[in-house]
Amino acid sequence: MGTSIYDIEHKRSLNEPEAFWKEQAEKLNWFKSPTKILTETGEHTYRWFEDGVMNTSFMALDYHLINGRGDQLALVYDSPVTGVKQKYTYRQLHKKVAKFAGALKDLGIEKGDTVVIYMPMIPETAIAMLACARLGAIHSVVFGGFAPHELAIRIDDAEPKAIITASCGIEITRVIPYLEMVEQAISESSHKPQHTVVFERPQHKVESLSTNQYDFTTLLEKSEPVDPVPLKSNDPLYILYTSGTTGKPKGIIRDNGGHAVALRFSMENVYGAKPGDVYWAASDVGWVVGHSYIIYAPLIHGCTTVLFEGKPIKTPDAGVFWRIIEEYKVNTLFTAPTAFRAILKEDYEAELLKKYDTSSLRALFLAGERCDSATYHWAHNTLNVPVIDHWWQTETGWPIVANPIGIESFDPKPGSATKPVPGYDVQILNHAGESVPASEEGFITVKLPLPPGCLQGIWKNEARFQAGYLQQFPGYYASGDGGLIDKDGYVFVMGRVDDIINVAGHRLSTGEMEEVVSSHAFVVESAVIGVFDQLKGESPLGIVVLKEELEDTTQVEAELIQMVRDQIGAVASFKKVVVVKRLPKTRSGKVLRKTMKHIINGDDFQMPSTIDDPRILDEIRETFEEKLLVKEG
């Protein structure tokens, strides 16, 4: 059997990383091209393109004007929840970004300052992000589904000079008052940002602006455009908070240069996208998918990106994805499997698809959670295009494992995200840090150095970065996922090995929910676990022991649900609580969360040998059955 192009590329990326990534870096327009490609900066820490000078906003906008792409569409905005559609050419988007950067500069924002962005899926969010990038200000976008308390935690950690928000977000028909939530967060946080900039939307007027509050549109109109500030490749572009195993989220730091190089590489080689293509990531800018594949990658690569403010169903129906594909001639669609589960549940026969011409679509990419085979097959049979499951994380910012159709297409194996992307040396290790044989499950790790674009660290917390990712297996990045590589080199990601769950493709910490639940005056102890959910893949379930036995636990349950909603946010989807008499534990007192999860999901499992009192499991099972929580066969 001959060696495949993929094998050659992948091997070369690992054996000659500097030559490989230098070539990739040369495909972008730097102010000063890097000569130092890879530098070891400490024990197991590395930096890419150290002496390169560039600006991400320049690469995403100005460069295309110089290159004759000014009149091509850069961004189309489609908002079924407001009925608004807007189109921006590269020239128009560039003008807005340069002017809004001028507005931020007038507010005193400069290179190295941090700016929190708490906004819905509107073009102004993209403008705000790119304007920060233009100045070298580090943005930190917070997903709108998080409650003010969560926003306050991020404000205290990122210490922003300014917050940019909108008067509201819209969830199907519900108006979410973003500005009020920002105000509440600022009143709760210790750090007080100097300025708040608000984009007023007609669905929720701003009554009056207080001192330190500015109207987005007025600022933008009256400001002078500014040029992109030359930045070092390693200057941070953004901080993005993601769930860890404790209550405190981790601020993942992304650089400018490595990020741009990696994203461009991925557009060509993983997604098989060409400049001029229409690329649609149906996600949210609050998540890493939104950062990488709604904003930065498509623009850096000269594509048209689609910014969709809606849901796969109910806005207005399960045909909206097909309408968008037809209307903007989308070539690549990227979303989470849960979006397709929502569509197939509403329209299994795909009747609505018959109304639209989706022939422009070349491939569907799925990520964010494990793709179940029913969804995979439905999507494939319905759309009749390659369906590509690929695996990545907020930490990496771009795919680790994929079917790299821009290099070579492999026959898919459902349940596998296919092969390690060039740059990633994926290895499966056991507890002792030894490689395991093919097809044996273990910890999924990546041998260091990670390729360009991956996290530089955790904001203001080097110790957590080291402890969370680098110390478990010295010389390797511990991904937090478990899985295997089969004899053909296909990687199967089986799920998290920690307390993180994926709910509708949203990454959440059960530990954080437990902290909230345990703070209720009636709760003695609790466990929150992710259980099977037909639509969302997983959903959290709170299992609590109360201080005293109550005949009716409905009120406490409702209070716990409300507490999580108020403190973490609606996105937690924390809707089920069950009261039990005792929690099953090991003899050393560790709660057996996995065992409870197996009982509820109806999985076969072995009684843990370390269990303290096996009789508790029968008790728990009875309670779960009584509450109809156990999944049938």
Q: How far is CA 354 from the centre of its chain?
A: 32
Q: Who's near 117: CB < 8 A, 6+ residues apart?
A: 125, 128, 129, 132, 139, 140, 141, 142, 163, 164, 165
- Interaction between residue 335 and ligand COA (CB under 6 A): yes
The one of ligand COA, ligand AMP, none whose footprint includes residue 389, by CB under 5 to 8 A per kind, is: ligand AMP
- How long a stretch of residues is the chain? 633
344 three-state secondary structure: helix
- Interaction between residue 241 and ligand COA (CB under 6 A): no
CB 531 within 8 A of CB 515: no
Q: How far apart are CA 420 and CA 489, in angstroms?
A: 8
Q: How far apart are CA 420 and CA 429, in angstroms?
A: 15
Q: Which stretch binds ligand AMP (CB under 6 A): 263-271, 362-370, 516-524, 595-603?
A: 362-370
- Interaction between residue 536 and ligand AMP (CB under 6 A): no
Closest by Cα among 176, 422, 143, 102 to 290: 143
Cα four-point dihedral sign 303, 503, 138, 24: negative
Q: Among residue numbers 369 through 388, which ones bind ligand AMP (CB under 6 A)?
A: 369-370
Q: Among residue numbers 354 through 373, which ones bind ligand COA (CB under 6 A)?
A: 368
- Interaction between residue 367 and ligand AMP (CB under 6 A): yes
Nearer to ligand AMP, 80 or 423 (CB): 423
Nearer to ligand COA, 545 or 561 (CB): 561
Fill in the per-residue mask, 233 to 262: x = in contact with ligand AMP (CB under 6 A), - = not in contact.
Answer: ---------x--------------------
Q: Who's near 317: CB < 8 A, 6+ residues apart?
A: 346, 347, 352
Buried b (16+ CB within 10 A) or exposed e, 213-237: bbebeebbeebeebebbebbbbbbb
Q: Among residue numbers 276 through 315, which ones bind ligand AMP (CB under 6 A)?
A: 287-288
CB 605 within 8 A of CB 598: yes
Q: Among residue numbers 559 through 618, which ones bind ligand COA (CB under 6 A)?
A: 570-571, 573
Q: Which of 34, 52, 136, 144 touches ligand COA by CB under 6 A?
A: 144
- Interaction between residue 424 and ligand AMP (CB under 6 A): no
- Interaction between residue 418 and ligand AMP (CB under 6 A): no
Q: Who's near 558: CB < 8 A, 6+ residues apart?
A: none
- Interaction between residue 419 and ligand AMP (CB under 6 A): no
On the CB side of 370, CA atoms within 13 Å amount to 21
Q: Among residue numbers 502 through 521, which ones bind ligand COA (CB under 6 A)?
A: 503-506
Nearer to ligand AMP, 493 or 578 (CB): 493
Q: Which of 102, 145, 193, 420 touches ligand COA by CB under 6 A?
A: 145
Where does this chain bind ligand COA (CB under 6 A)?
A: 144-145, 169, 171, 176, 282-284, 287, 289, 311-313, 335-336, 338-339, 342, 368, 503-506, 535-536, 570-571, 573
Give contact residues for ligand AMP (rule: CB under 6 A): 242, 287-288, 367-370, 389-394, 417, 480-481, 493, 496, 502, 507
